[in-house]
Structure 1
Amino acid sequence: MATGELAHSDESAPAEQPAESAERASSVERRTHSSHGELDGNFEDADEELPPGSVRTASGRISAALDTNREPGVRLPFSSVQLSRLDEALTLVSRHTQLRFSVYLGELGENTHTGAERLHDHLGAAAADSVLIALDVARRQVDIVTGSVARLRLPDRGCKLAVMSMVASFREGDLIGGLLSGLRMLSDQAGRP
């Protein structure tokens, strides 16, 4: 488990949750898909209009960010390209390490680490081999929570290094770059099973 503080930036959430305003960040969840990597076989609808925050990945899956507290006119946290890049990174890192990686952007509560742990606990039986990167952009905090199995391969020191790398990118206003860099570092640290 690691915690870091995000530096304030005009674009502190342009990639994941564009800190539309650093004071007010909407809750955004990444929907999980039960069939990662499977083709749905129906590409006839490829030209269909997807809802905002959704993208059809190269494999044919639809990846979506669900904004649970968005006001009209507030832009979404990721462009379709950024959302696709994050989805692919999560898929590749999870396949490589055989751990379940996820990213959460949104309100974590007064104590961000406790809020991140609460989210991680909602994974139920899957929590043991899961890694959650949770960002509360409004409070400028990032937490990495690992399950009991994942913790054996991702010690606190490795998570802290990933947090430091992410925070450096976040300070520059590059939220998606920071997340991708952090995922890469965590994958390298965990290695193959």
Structure 2
Amino acid sequence: MSGDVVPREVVSIKQQEVQHGPRGNLGGDGAFTTRQLARLDEAITLSSRETGLTFSVYVGELQAPTRAHAEALFERLTDSSVLVAVSPGQRSLHIVTGPESAKRLPNRSCALAALAMRGAFGNGDLTNGIVVGLRMLADAAGSR
């Protein structure tokens, strides 16, 4: 399963590429609802605008090893990007930063955001988990 990573957009939101959340948070056909997509798009846009970094989200299956696949997806982005890669079906989450974005987002900040996201995911709320994670990452990075 593959998907394109596009800055400031939720990617791989095709029905066949999105895994169902643990409690059906995703629409019945396996895709995000229009409302969920709007929330995600707003969170990505605001995070990018506030920080000057380029936030991207990938939701879909990651090939094993999942970290290497997330890093390969990141290679399509710029050095000032932040990629949040989530594979609900594999219970996998990776936050990848580039040389420029890493200066503003240390590993500890990313780990705290990941912890908050996993908590929401564990409660079956994929959308809110991603939104909370993006907010925490943007807050940690600070404004331009």
TM-score range, shorter chain: 0.7 to 0.9
SS at match of 1:187: helix
Match of 2:24 in 1: none
Match of 2:14 in 1: 67
Question: CA-atom RMSD, angstroms?
Answer: 2.3
Q: Which 4+ runs in 1 deviate beyond 6 A?
A: none
SS at match of 1:138: helix
Structure 2 CA distance for aligned equivalents of residues 68 and 75 of structure 1: 7
Displacement after TM superposition at 1:66 (Å): 4.2
Query: How many residue pairs get matched?
Result: 134
Task: Give the 3 Å change call, closer, same or farther, for CA 68–76 of structure 1 in structure 2.
Answer: closer
Percentage of pairs with the same residue: 43
Match of 1:143 in 2: 94
SS at match of 2:90: coil
1:83 and 2:37 matched: yes
Letter of the 1:153 counterpart = R
Structure with greater helix share of residues:
2
Structure 1 CA distance for aligned equivalents of residues 103 and 82 of structure 2: 12
SS at match of 1:82: helix
* Contact 2:47 2:55 (8 Å CA) reproduced: yes
SS at match of 2:57: strand
Match of 1:59 in 2: none
Q: Which protein, 1 or 2, shows the higher relative CO under an 8 Å CA cutoff with sep ≥ 6?
A: 1
Bigger-Rg structure (1/2)? 1
